[in-house]
Structure 1
Amino acid sequence: MEPEQVPSAPAPATSRRELRAAADRSGNRASRRAARTSRARSTLTPWALRWGPRTAVLSTLAAATIAFPVVDATTGTDVELGPGTVSASAAAAGLPTAYEVLSSTLPQATPTTLLAAGSGPRAAAEPVSRSLEREPLPGCDGDIRTTAPNGQIPQSDLCSLWDPDHALRGDAAVALSELNLNFRAAFDRDLCLTDSYRPLSVQRRLAVTKPGLAATPGLSNHGWGLAIDLCSSETASADAMAWLRTNGPVFGWENPAWARRGGSGPYEPWHWEYVPGTEAMGTNWS
């Protein structure tokens, strides 16, 4: 009986030609893989290459945060995320809600009365806000205390203005100071005054030196602490006068009709009066 024949393994290629062919086949496979990888990367934008991995991480974190149920601290039930909602664990730890954290980063609005106009005045038509709580004239409560005659009001019954050389009755002084705060925001300076409360002695002197321009002594609204005179720097400024004509009445201050061009009295654009006070007293003199 002949012995069983066992097939032998093919002899390895030993010729140089066969070795080169095998190497070429191996190299071609590697080249094709590299080309496929290169083509895949070439279709990605620089943004995707840079932010793709980061976006994946951020998405995972966001999903973990948003998907985590928000629990009402009082009922223990799931609620939608919104103002005042907080998880039980966050409430126990005294931590703020996500809504509070996010909303706390929003910029706060600035009251219009504090927005300075820079080098130019604020538009005259812009409404003047009086909603901001403030003390326009420190040390003056705005009360009317005097019962003294015209031009004989004691200094203790008057309120000094931002310029200590000028004073008015309490209510008129506070209202004018509020107007001045807004004027300062618009023009970056205080309202300039030449006259305010006028003692009787000064009224008498002006009646002699400026006949026709000064009221009869003892009848002047300056003598009641209810009138002011503006500096020529204000009356010469069209912007300032336009602003005052628009905003002054908001605070009770007006250039009276008799003092305007074509009015019943002399033309005095510098003369302004606190209308609530003059109307209550029934006066109509400068």
Structure 2
Amino acid sequence: MTSLTSRRALRDPQSSRLRSGWLARWVPRTAVLVALASATIAVPLADTASSQTDAFAAAGPVGYPSAVDVLSSAQPTSTPTSLLAAVRGATLVSDTSSRSFERNPLPGCDGEAREAGSNGQVPASDLCTLWDGRQMLRGDAAVALAELNKNFNAAFGRDMCITDTYRTLSEQRRVAATKPGLAATPGTSNHGWGLAIDLCTSENRLTSVMSWLADNGPTYGWDNPDWARRGGSGAYEPWHWEYVPGTTALGTNY
């Protein structure tokens, strides 16, 4: 009986009208609920994906700068050798260090070691003038010393103080006469080749300066020779420094 009644109810026009009304009310409501649910789920997911993308773009690969960092950076693209730390015991010559970068630490000097005529008679055209506008050295020695001086200036806020560099033969004779026992025999001094310097007394008295030079000088080929050190074979001259690559090539690295 219940089954027959149900079939008749379904065929009954009044029942059909009731069912249609029910559908008319709930289908729109269901659509609204589905839309709200989709928005509730999709929007956070989209925000999460967007935030993750933004975070990755901002951070970039681990250990590397982002494009924003690179484009907004004011840092130079290369590091001058004059700002690189020196390494104790290194024997890097100026030719290698200076030519690695397209710049000249001593404007007007090409850094070339031209074949000299004789000791104390080197043409001025074969020498380079240092930063003080007075002292002169052979090209390669001058560039190497200029590189060293850039480091020195960065460390102490001033240039190295130097009293003597290249000496003519007549100047060697004068020094030998006024400083017997200290000056080399005229015509044999490395000053006469433009490969030696004498530091100011003010530099020698500063332990910090002499220690710094001992650590950094050899990096650019400059050193206080063994014979001039305390207990060496010659007079104690901590102020006397030579360009080792040059003296070694000439066989005057006594």
Give the TM-score of the pair, scaled to structure 1.
Answer: 0.60
C-alpha deviation, 1:66, in angstroms: 4.7
CA distance in 2 between partners of 1:269 and 1:184 (Å): 20
CA distance in 1 between partners of 2:244 and 2:70 (Å): 45
The structure 1 segments of at least 4 consecutive aligned residues displaced by more than 4 Å after TM superposition are: 59-69, 80-84, 109-115, 122-125, 129-132
CA distance in 2 between partners of 1:82 and 1:174 (Å): 44
Aligned residue identity for 1:149: S
Match of 2:175 in 1: 206
CA distance in 2 between partners of 1:194 and 1:172 (Å): 16
CA distance in 2 between partners of 1:138 and 1:250 (Å): 21
Match of 1:145 in 2: 114
CA distance in 2 between partners of 1:200 and 1:177 (Å): 25
Aligned residue identity for 1:100: A
CA distance in 1 between partners of 2:134 and 2:220 (Å): 22
1:220 to 189, 193, 196: 189
Match of 1:252 in 2: 221
Q: Evaluate the alpha carbon distance shift between residue 231 and residue 61 of structure 1 in structure 2; reply closer, same or farther with a 3 A threshold.
A: farther
C-alpha deviation, 1:113, in angstroms: 6.5
C-alpha deviation, 1:111, in angstroms: 4.8
Identity, % of aligned pairs? 59
1:36-61 CA deviation, whole Å, 9 max, x = no partner? xxxxxxxxxxxxxxxxxxxxxxx999
Aligned residue identity for 1:178: E
CA distance in 2 between partners of 1:67 and 1:284 (Å): 66
CA distance in 2 between partners of 1:64 and 1:198 (Å): 75
Q: Evaluate the alpha carbon distance shift between residue 147 and residue 123 of structure 1 in structure 2; reply closer, same or farther with a 3 A threshold.
A: closer
8 Å CA contact 2:247–2:253 kept in 1: the answer is: yes
1:188-211 CA deviation, whole Å, 9 max, x = no partner? 000000000000000011111111
1:101 to 64, 68, 78: 68
CA distance in 1 between partners of 2:45 and 2:138 (Å): 69
8 Å CA contact 1:203–1:218 kept in 2: the answer is: yes
Matches within 5 A, 1:225-244: 225-244=194-213
* Gaps in structure 2 of 5+ consecutive residues: 1-43, 61-65
Q: Secondary structure at the match of 1:104?
A: helix
Q: Evaluate the alpha carbon distance shift between residue 204 and residue 248 of structure 1 in structure 2; reply closer, same or farther with a 3 A threshold.
A: same
CA distance in 1 between partners of 2:212 and 2:53 (Å): 57
Matches within 5 A, 1:4-43: none
Q: Higher relative contact order at CA 8 Å, sep ≥6: structure 1 or structure 2? A: 2
Structure 1 residue 189 and structure 2 residue 166: aligned? no
CA distance in 2 between partners of 1:236 and 1:224 (Å): 27
Q: Secondary structure at the match of 1:168?
A: strand
Aligned residue identity for 1:101: V
8 Å CA contact 2:195–2:242 kept in 1: the answer is: yes
C-alpha deviation, 1:81, in angstroms: 5.8
1:269 to 226, 232, 238: 238
C-alpha deviation, 1:270, in angstroms: 0.3
Alignment length (residue pairs): 199
8 Å CA contact 2:228–2:236 kept in 1: the answer is: yes
Q: Evaluate the alpha carbon distance shift between residue 104 and residue 218 of structure 1 in structure 2; reply closer, same or farther with a 3 A threshold.
A: same
Q: Which has the higher helix share?
A: 2
Match of 1:160 in 2: 129
Give the TM-score of the pair, scaled to structure 2.
Answer: 0.67
